[in-house]
Structure 1
Amino acid sequence: MRVLIVEDDPELAGLLRDGLREHRIDPTVATTFAAGQARAQAGDYDVIILDVRLPGGTGFDLCAQLRRNAVDTPVLMLTALDAVDERVRGLTAGADDYLTKPFAFRELVARLQALARRRALAVTPAILRVADLEMDVGARVVRRAGRPIALTAKEFALLELLLRHSGQVVDRSAITAHIWDDNHDPFANVLEVLVRRLRSKIDDGFEPKLIVTVRGAGYRIEGTAGKAGRALP
């Protein structure tokens, strides 16, 4: 993973750089607004760490400028503790996540990895297929045996996750982390309800059944890509 750090405090920038290297992450440091903009637009980074206060401008303005220039690299903003206005302003400017200072380094790494995973999913092929099930990710259209299927946002997110890991078990924790926020109750049965609703749309009235429950582990979608199934009469 390649990470651009835009931070003017040399001590914090050094700590970030050295800590990321220990986690086998390749960091690059920019210390001003102009340098951060130039590197972000010229380099191929997986995530950008962006501080709020920079020589030559603010992190908010830099983030907004990058978005206007079609730089879609995920941005993690570093904000002051309890600075709600800063967090809201950063997200409004186009940031994908934020972390308040001081922070635990392992949380920073986890957030960077999550942002990088989301970007990797976003740039993978837009048409996903298993058996006679087809998803056009960009158009947000799902069909089975040629029939259009209307899904809610969470149903679509779950099906996309399963399709991107076709033939593999996706564990419950990975699904809940992908679909719900940190306030989700892991002991609630909302995941089972969501899977049941998705099955009723994807599998009921069709053969073969595609969504498989792996007891004690999670769920899997299986079937030969492009292999014709059939709608039941």
Structure 2
Amino acid sequence: MIDKTVSSLEEAVAGIFDGATVMIGGFGIAGQPAELIDALIAHGARDLTIVNNNAGNGEIGLAALLKARRVKKIICSFPRQADSQVFDALYHAGEIELELVPQGNLAARIQAAGAGLGAIYTPTGYGTLLAEGKETREIDGKHYVLEYPIRADFALIKAYRGDRWGNLVYRKAARNFGPIMAAAATVTIAQVGEVVPLGALDPESIVTPGIFVQRVVAVPGLAQARVA
């Protein structure tokens, strides 16, 4: 019997090793798997490379992981905003490495990894500092930059509901990066508000099929809000 559910957050993040590349879903705090991040902090893995849309908000979630000095490098699109004080302090102190990737390229490179592509050509960044040292090509009169897929050892994502096979549905904008990260990681770990019986999820509503998910953990409270 296939059953990918685990009984605790600690069990969910077990095996995340020092030096791992970890994708973390969310757009800011929307869809961020905060409880899994807290479990990762407690787990103690260090020297992580984190892939996320931004570099943390305030001092919770991803920012708390940075504050705990567990991250050596972050790959993101928006490292600075009004409440990115933790990242700002670490970066100015030379304690964290940043790879800045335009948001469209970030999504496309993650998607390329999930699709098994070797590389992609994108117009974004051509003629800027972000294209320095990279291969470029003119295709049909337009200039493109060669970009390589972003893969991860682990992905931590948040979904609305899931079943024991790992099928996931999301709530509104909380969907954001979760589905593409799930396909681009060796091990995808999903926190859900509720684990429902097989067949309870409408097949037409399943966004992430269970084939992309290895562990599912229920976090009470995530499913309290109703889908409009």
Q: TM-score range by the shorter chain?
A: under 0.3
Relative CO higher for 1 or 2, CA cutoff 8 Å, sep ≥ 6? 2
Structure label with greater radius of gyration: 1
Q: TM-score, normalised by structure 1?
A: 0.25
Greater helix fraction, Structure 1 or Structure 2: 1
